[in-house]
Structure 1
Amino acid sequence: MDKIKQMWKSIYYLVYTEGFNILSIDEEDSEVWLTHESKKVVKRFIHKAPTHQEVDFDFEKTTDHLSSLIDSIGFSFEQLDTYYLTDKDIDFTEFNHYKRPKIRYYALSSVEDFEKVSSHIITKQQIKRSKTTAVTTYKNKLLNASFIDSFMLKFSPVTYFLVAINVIVWLSLVLIFNQVAQINLVDYGGLVHFNVVHGEWYRLLTSMFLHADFTHLIMNVFSLIIFGKLIEDALGSIKMFIIYLVSGLFAGLVSLSIDTVSISIGASGAIFGLIGAFIVYLFTRKNINKQFVLQTFIGIAIISLLALFISNVNHFAHLGGFIGGAILMYIIYKWMEHDKFKMHYIIAFIVLIIILVFIIFSRQQHYIYDELTKEAMNNGDFNSAETMIKQIKEKNFESDETYILSGLIVANNTSLDEAILEWERGLKIFPQSPKLNYQLALGYRAKDDYDKANKFINQSIKQDKNNEHYKALKKEITAFRS
C-alpha cells in the first residue's frame, strides 16, 4: 500500500464528503491540516514515523500554546486528531487528552487504520472501496478547484434530498394529477390565510414543496443547489436543514401576516432563508475573503433579479425567509460561541413568531373558496363550481356568499325554485346577511312575487342603508307593486 496516496485519498473524501477545509500544507507536503468549523474538529496528517520523544514534545507544545493555535486556526475547536504515517504499529494511548479540547494521536500503517480517520459511513466506504489514483490527481482537485467547483463537488446529502423532494412532488402533480391548476394548489397544500386560521397549519410546510410550473421549479432547484451546498458545507447537514425548514416556516408566517388573499407556494422562502444565513455567516468570519464575498453577492443579485421576472412571486415570503434565516444564523453563531445570552436570542425569536401568529389571526378573513367558485362559474365550468361548493360545506368553510353562489349553480342546473330554497337555507345560518336578503329579493322578483321581494329587500336596506344596489331594487319593486 502506498501510504502517501492513501493519505491524500483520505483527505480528498474528508473534504468532499464531510466538508472539511484544507487549512495548510507545508512545502514538502509532509504535514497537512484540515478543519471543520461546524463540527469544531481539526485533523492533522504527518508523513513521518515519530519517536516517543517527538510525540511527547508535540503534545506539550500543543497544550502549552493552545490559545495561539486556536487564534491561528480561526475558531475554538473541541477535537484535534493527529495522524502519523508509519510502518510501525505504535501505541499513542498515553498521549490522548480527553478534556476539552480532546487531543488524540493515531498511527496509520494499514488500510484499516485509514478507514478510522472518520466515523462518517460514506467517507469510510469511499476510503475502503474507491480506486486509489495518483497523488497529483487528488491534489489538483483539492488545491486547483475554482470557486464554484470547490463547493459543487462536495457531498451535500440534505441539499440533494430537498431537491429530490421538490422534483418528485412536482412530477407527481403533473404526471399523476395531470395539471397544476390554482384550485389544485389549494387542495394539495398551498398556503392560504383562510385555511391556516381555520386550523390547517400543515400548509406552512406543504406549500414549501409545491411549484406553479416547470420554470418556477427549475429556478428554485438551481438556487437551492447553490446556497444549500454553501450552507451545508459551512455549517453541516443538520444545521442547514434546520435553517431551511425553520426559515421556510417563518417566511410563511410573514406572508400570512401581510397577504390574506394570495395562494403562496414554492421553496423560495426557505431558499432566501439560506441566503440570509449565508450573509450573516460571512460577516461572522474573522477573515473574510473579499473575492468570495463579491462572488456570493453577485450570485444573490442574479437570483433576486431573476425572481422579478417570474409571475406571482411572493416577495413577502422572500423577505420573511431572508430575515428568518439571518436571525437563525446569528443564534447558531452565538450558540457555537457559547454566548451567555444565547437563550435570550432564542426566546426573542419565539416571541417574534408569537407576534406574527397574533397578527395572522387579527387580519380579516378572505374567503378564497368562494372566489375560486365564482371564477369557475365565470368560466362556465359549473361542474367544478358545484364540486367546490360541496368541499366548502364538508369543511364547514361556508359564508353567506357560499350560499348565494350555491343557489346560482342550482338555478343554472335545476330551477329557480330550488335556488330560492338554497338561499333561504343560507339565510337561516346567516340571518343578518344583507347579500342573502338581496339575492332572495331578486329571486322573488323574477317569480313576480313582489310582496316577498319587498320583504327581503327591506331587510337588506335595514342591514346596509347606504348600498345603492339595494335602493335601486327597492324602487323597482315599489314601482311594480303600485
Structure 2
Amino acid sequence: MSYHTDYLYWKFIHSMIVDGYRIMHLAEDQQEVWLENIVHKQFPLIRVKRKDIDWSNWLRSDMKQTILQADKIRKMYFRNKFQVLNIYFTSLPPVDSYEPYVNRPVQIENVKTKMYSILFDESHLQDSVQFVTKIIGQNPFGQIKEDYSDYEVGALKSLISQETIAAEKREKQLFNRTKPFFTYFLLVAITFVFILLEMNGGSTNPYVLLYFGAKYNPAILDGEWWRFFTPMFLHIGFLHLFMNGLSLYYLGTAVESIFGRLRFLIIYLFSGFFGTLASFIFSSHLSAGASGAIFGLFGALLYFGIEHKHTFFRTIGPNILALIGVNVVIGFAVPSIDISGHMGGMIGGFLAAGILGLPDTKKRYRMYYLLLTVVITAIALYYGYQFPNI
C-alpha cells in the first residue's frame, strides 16, 4: 500500500505551520485541516483536504461549502476582503471534466471571500508541485522520494502534533507571565480615596475634588505639578468609580499578566500622567478619574499587537479594537467626557510599553520609543505652560 499522497498532504501542512500558520480545525478523520495566519497578506486562511476524488460534482459542491465556511471566518475577523487557498490532495483526478473548477480564483455572488482551489494530482506530480510552488511562493515539499511508509507518515503527524502543542504552550505563556497584584492594589487604592472624598464633603463636590488633587489648570500653572498624577486616583460619583473600576479589573489583569507587575505599574502611572497632560493642554475644566490610565492599558495592548500580530488578531485583537472604537465614539459624542485625557492616556500607554518592552523579548526600538516620548513630553509641557488653557 502506498502512502505517497498521505505523506505529501501532511508535509504541506507541516511546511505551512513552520511558515507561521496555525491549525484552527482538524477533522476527526484527519482528512481535512484548516490553517490560519491572519497577518498573511495573500492567504490568511488555507484549507487542505485529503480525498481521492471520483467525480467533479462532489468537487464543485465541496468548493461551494468551503467558500461559504471561509466567508464566516472572514466575518469573525471583521475583514472586508478575504482570500482562502483550498488544496485537494488526490491520488487520481476525477474521471469526468474538472478543469473549469480548479487552479483559478473562484468567487460566489454576494460573498466577499475569494477562493483559489488547487487539485494536487499525484498522477501529475511534478506539475502539481510546480503549480503549488508558484502560488505560495515556495516549495513546501522539499525533496520528494518515490514512496513513503506508514511509519514515515506517522512520524510526520507526530512532529506536527508536538510543534502544535509547543506553539499553544508558548502562546499561553504570553498571556500568563505572572499573577496580577498591582491591579488589585490600585482597585483598593481608588476605592479608599473615594471613601475619603465621600467622608469629606462628597466626591461630586468641586471644592473637595480640588482639595484632594483634581486636575485644575490654574493650580498646575501656580506650581502644583503633582496634579498631573493625583487625578487618576479620584472619581466623581459612584458610577464613575464603578465603571472605571470594572475596566481596570478586566484590562488591568490582562495587561499585568502580559507585561509583568512592575512594567504594568509603570505603564499605568505614566498613562495617567500623559492623560492629565493632554487634558491640561486641551481642556480647561476641572477633571479627575482613572480613565486616562485605563486607556493607557489599551495602548499597551496595541503595542502587544504590534509585537505579536498573529496572536493578537486571532485572540484579543478584534475585541480590543472594537472596545477602543466604541469608547472613542462615546468620548466625542458625550460633551462631559474628557476625550483629550483618554486619547493622551492611550498614547502614553503605547509609548511606555514601547520603552519597557515585553518580558523575555529583544530590546528592539526601545531607545527610539524613549527619545520620542521625551520629545513629545517636553513639547507638550512647554506648550501647556506657555499657552495655558484657562
TM-score, normalisation: structure 1: 0.42
Match of 1:255 in 2: 279
**Which amino acid in 1 is paired with 2:259?**
L
The 5 A counterparts of 1:18-417 are 155-178=179-202, 180-259=204-283, 261-285=284-308, 287-288=310-311, 289-304=313-328, 312-333=336-357, 337-339=361-363, 341-364=365-388, 366=390
Measure the CA separation in 1 of the matches of 2:388 and 2:325: 35
CA separation of 1:347 and 1:309: change in aligned 2, threshold 3 A: closer
**Which amino acid in 2 is paired with 1:232?**
E
Measure the CA separation in 2 of the matches of 1:300 and 1:307: 10
Structure 1 stretches lacking a partner, 5+ long: 1-68, 77-141, 143-149, 367-482
More helix as a share of residues? 1
Measure the CA separation in 2 of the matches of 1:207 and 1:305: 23
The CA deviation string for residues 205-259 of structure 1, in whole angstroms up to 9 with x for no partner, is: 1111111111111111111111101101111111111100001101111111222
CA separation of 1:179 and 1:231: change in aligned 2, threshold 3 A: closer
CA separation of 1:220 and 1:236: change in aligned 2, threshold 3 A: same
Deviation at 1:302, TM superposition (A): 5.0
Measure the CA separation in 1 of the matches of 2:373 and 2:275: 13
CA separation of 1:338 and 1:314: change in aligned 2, threshold 3 A: same
**Which amino acid in 2 is paired with 1:263?**
L
Match of 1:422 in 2: none
**Which amino acid in 2 is paired with 1:356?**
A
Contact 1:334-1:342 at 8 Å conserved across structures: no
**Which amino acid in 1 is paired with 2:346?**
F
Deviation at 1:332, TM superposition (A): 2.6
| Structure ID, larger Rg | 1
Measure the CA separation in 2 of the matches of 1:364 and 1:292: 39
Deviation at 1:186, TM superposition (A): 1.4
Deviation at 1:360, TM superposition (A): 0.9
Deviates most, 284-293 or 348-357:
284-293
The CA deviation string for residues 402-431 of structure 1, in whole angstroms up to 9 with x for no partner, is: xxxxxxxxxxxxxxxxxxxxxxxxxxxxxx
Contact 1:74-1:286 at 8 Å conserved across structures: no
Measure the CA separation in 1 of the matches of 2:181 and 2:189: 12
Measure the CA separation in 2 of the matches of 1:248 and 1:337: 25
Contact 1:247-1:269 at 8 Å conserved across structures: yes
Contact 2:332-2:339 at 8 Å conserved across structures: no
Measure the CA separation in 2 of the matches of 1:183 and 1:302: 32
* SS of corresponding position for 1:211: coil
Deviation at 1:326, TM superposition (A): 1.3
Deviation at 1:286, TM superposition (A): 5.2
* SS of corresponding position for 1:264: coil
Identical positions, percent: 28
Deviation at 1:202, TM superposition (A): 0.7
CA RMSD across the alignment: 3.3
Contact 2:298-2:320 at 8 Å conserved across structures: no
Measure the CA separation in 2 of the matches of 1:265 and 1:178: 14
CA separation of 1:295 and 1:286: change in aligned 2, threshold 3 A: closer
Contact 2:305-2:317 at 8 Å conserved across structures: yes
Measure the CA separation in 1 of the matches of 2:224 and 2:358: 34
Aligned residues: 224
Deviation at 1:283, TM superposition (A): 2.7
* SS of corresponding position for 2:207: helix
CA separation of 1:207 and 1:237: change in aligned 2, threshold 3 A: same
